[in-house]
Structure 1
Amino acid sequence: MSLIARLRAYAADAFGLAATEEVAVDDQHLAATALLVHVARVDGTLAPSEAERLARLVRGRYAATEAESRALIARASAMDAATRDVAQLVEMIGRETDETARAGLLAMAWSIAGADGHVDEFEEALVWRLGRLLGLDEPAIAFARAQGLTGRETGPAPIA
């Protein structure tokens, strides 16, 4: 059984999802959502505003319905918990993804980090590191930060 299949089974069991509720999800979308989950949880608390922003962004980009969004976030949460380093998730997204899409994902990460009105030092360090792992330079990371923290992360879908 592959790691992805095991994570899907774990999430279905942990969150009470029936196998028929599982929707096929692109591995890149799952990895991107797991990165966003990691950002939301890095400061040790998942504020309601962060959870809402995460759900809204996932529903807008990777899931068509609220139920699909919840299922994807549950699977991504399990994947994040099973992943030792965010670099593994970034590898799943791949550098062949265009720079605009990678910058869009980073803007989403900044948006989630700032959803509770404050970007703490752990969130700041993590999202900057994600930007570097995604192959973005400092100006691109700063631009994504400005977009995400001002609520303009609603550009093109980050991962095709």
Structure 2
Amino acid sequence: MTLIDRLRSFAAQAFGMTSDGKADTGTDEALAAIALLVHVARADGTLAPAEAERLSRLVQGRYAETRNQADALIARAAAFDAETRDMADLVEMMGHGADHEERLRLVAMAWSLATADGAVHEFEEALVYRLGTLLGLTEDEVGRARTDMPATA
């Protein structure tokens, strides 16, 4: 059983996913994307109130209709992130179906989270650049995504 298969099996058991591997609210890909955002939000070792608020608004704006749905997805994604050893595993869970614009949007959301507390720490910056690289974006694209942060930020 591959690592991805084990992660999917864990997700099915831990997060109430259906037998076909889809989450009740959202897809595997969405859960992995939210887990990546949680990972970035916690990059400096803490989830500050401003980061938690921004994360909730970003998830509600993109993956959920209501605040309660967003918070439930974030809780599931946070547990998923805690069980995952590396961001690369989460990127792999997203699959290769995400188009270029979706990958850029995810990096812009990550930048938005990194700036939520008023300062981008060196570790957060390196993490967002690594995320962009794992998503197949160039350094220039990752840098430009910083100026294209979502309006909900």
Does the alignment reach a TM-score above 0.5? yes
The question of 1:70 aligning with 2:67 is answered no
Corresponding position of 2:11: 4
Code of the residue aligned with 1:29 in structure 2: it is: A
Residues 9-64 of structure 1, C-alpha deviations (whole Å, 9 max, x = no match): 6xxxxxxxxxxxx8432111100000000001010111111000000000010011
Displacement of 1:102 in angstroms is 0.2
Residues 107-160 of structure 1, C-alpha deviations (whole Å, 9 max, x = no match): 000000000110101101100000000000111111111222xxxx249xxxxx
Secondary structure of 1:2's counterpart equals helix
Identical aligned residues as a percent: 58
Distance 2:32 2:10 in 1: 12
Corresponding position of 2:129: 128
Q: Which segment is superposed worse, 30-39 or 136-145? A: 136-145
Distance 1:125 1:74 in 2: 25
Distance 1:8 1:62 in 2: 16
Corresponding position of 1:119: 120
Please, which runs of 5 or more residues in structure 1 have no aligned partner?
Answer: 10-21, 156-160
Moved over 2 A (4+): none
Residues 5-154 of structure 1 aligned to structure 2 (within 5 Å): 5-8=12-15, 23-148=24-149, 153-154=150-151
Secondary structure of 1:45's counterpart equals coil
Residues 60-113 of structure 1, C-alpha deviations (whole Å, 9 max, x = no match): 100111111111000000000000000000011123311111000000000000
* RMSD (Å) for aligned C-alpha atoms: 1.7
Give yes or no for contact 1:47–1:116 (8 Å, CA) kept in 2. yes
Corresponding position of 1:14: none
Distance 1:85 1:52 in 2: 24
Please, which runs of 5 or more residues in structure 2 have no aligned partner?
Answer: 1-7, 17-22
